[in-house]
């Protein structure tokens, strides 16, 4: 049985999210599955280039060195529609980059997200828009990695993760109020519920587990090292402005968390803060925030709630996101 305790964090990735398989995917689209399979088997020993999720995955797995060796709290597994033989190139590439990814499923074209619970995964990253849409419609925490030219600094050893708040960390209840009543109605709603924590969103479990390990590392190393630098930095980059941050903070406190970095954009573009923050991955439920940031930071769309329809519509119309 998978270890689903808070002391383990499991992330599932597709092969196209972790590695750059766009040339191979074009073979699949133009020539079919057999040509794709033959190409992958023929090049099984040729390492794939890193993809959008690579910086995040590499750093997440490297965090295990800061915790007892018998624990290994961070784990990544692959959920791939590839066949087992064509998927061999994935594991050979992992060995080449020294990524300790040892588990996962190759389903030969069948849906992969139903196996998330079997592996205890808190997140599924994929480059297939159809898979992500289907997964989120069924309540799975899944995200679509967007094309990005962000450079990965190999000397940068920490892990920085940025989250939008509404529709990502929490549900879309307040976002609904904004769409129905405008900014004034939204502020009034938040003021009335300032002492009531928000309900969970699609990435609440991931957020809380990261926060747990952030605090655990701080307790272990921070007390002993006067020059302590956190290896996990969690940031919230939200379109909210004051005073709606009060309920946000109420929610974080209810989860026993107070260490997140908070950026209140008050409706201003998120792009410029993200360019300075340089997160290794950024999650948002609104495509417009991601499209402006994806060139600079690895970005992931979380299709959820009231913004899902617009996100899905954009995905279906924009070929560079569909790939």
Residues designated catalytic: 164
CB of 282 within 8 A of CB of 237? yes
| Cα R_g (the chain), whole angstroms | 20
Q: Which two tokens stand for residue 282?
A: 């950024």
List residues bridging with 125 in a β-sheet.
13, 143
CB of 10 within 8 A of CB of 121? yes
List of long-range contacts for 227-232, beta carbons under 8 Å, 24+ apart: 229/158, 230/158, 230/259, 231/63, 231/66, 231/157, 231/158, 231/159, 232/63, 232/158, 232/159, 232/161
Helix (H/G/I), strand (E/B), else coil: 321: helix
Burial of 290 (0-12, 13-18, 19+ CB in 10 A): buried
Helix (H/G/I), strand (E/B), else coil: 281: strand
Q: Helices (H), strands (E): how many in the chain?
A: 14, 12
Comparing CA positions, the residue from 168, 193, 163 lying closest to residue 306 is: 168
CA angle in degrees (0–180, nearest 5) for 99-234-13: 35
Comparing CA positions, the residue from 172, 171, 160 lying closest to residue 261 is: 160
Per residue, the 3-state secondary structure of 75-140, as one string, reads EEEEEECCCCCCCHHHHHHHHHCCCCCCEEEECCCCCCHHHHHHHCEEEEEECCHHHHHHHHHCCC
């Amino acid at each position: 049985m998978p270890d689903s305790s808070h002391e383990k964090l499991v992330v599932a990735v597709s092969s196209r999210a972790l590695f750059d398989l766009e040339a191979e995917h074009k073979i699949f689209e133009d020539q079919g599955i057999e040509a794709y399979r033959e190409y992958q088997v023929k090049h099984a020993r040729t390492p794939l280039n890193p993809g959008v999720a690579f910086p995040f995955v590499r750093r997440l797995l490297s965090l295990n060195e800061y915790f007892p060796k018998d624990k290994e709290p961070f784990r990544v597994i692959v959920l791939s529609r590839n066949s087992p033989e064509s998927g061999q190139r994935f594991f050979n590439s992992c060995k080449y980059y020294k990524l300790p990814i040892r588990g996962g499923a190759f389903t030969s074209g069948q849906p992969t997200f139903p196996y998330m619970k079997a592996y205890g995964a808190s997140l599924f990253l994929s480059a297939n828009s159809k898979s992500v849409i289907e997964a989120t419609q069924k309540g799975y925490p899944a995200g679509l990695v967007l094309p990005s030219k962000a450079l990965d600094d190999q000397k940068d050893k920490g892990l920085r993760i940025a989250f939008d708040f509404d529709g990502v960390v929490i549900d879309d209840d307040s976002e609904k109020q904004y769409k129905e009543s405008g900014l004034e109605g939204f502020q009034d709603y938040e003021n009335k519920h300032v002492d009531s924590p928000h309900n969970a969103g699609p990435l609440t479990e991931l957020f809380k587990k990261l926060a747990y390990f952030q605090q655990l590392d701080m307790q272990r190393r921070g007390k002993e090292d006067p020059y302590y630098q956190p290896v996990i930095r969690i940031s919230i980059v939200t379109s909210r402005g004051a005073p709606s941050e009060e309920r946000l903070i109420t929610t974080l406190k209810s989860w026993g968390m107070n260490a997140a970095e908070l950026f209140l954009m008050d409706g201003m573009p998120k792009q410029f803060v993200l360019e300075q923050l340089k997160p290794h991955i950024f999650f948002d439920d609104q495509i417009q925030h991601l499209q402006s940031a994806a060139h600079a930071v690895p970005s992931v769309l979380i299709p959820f709630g009231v913004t899902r329809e617009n996100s899905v519509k954009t995905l279906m119309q924009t070929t560079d996101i569909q790939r």
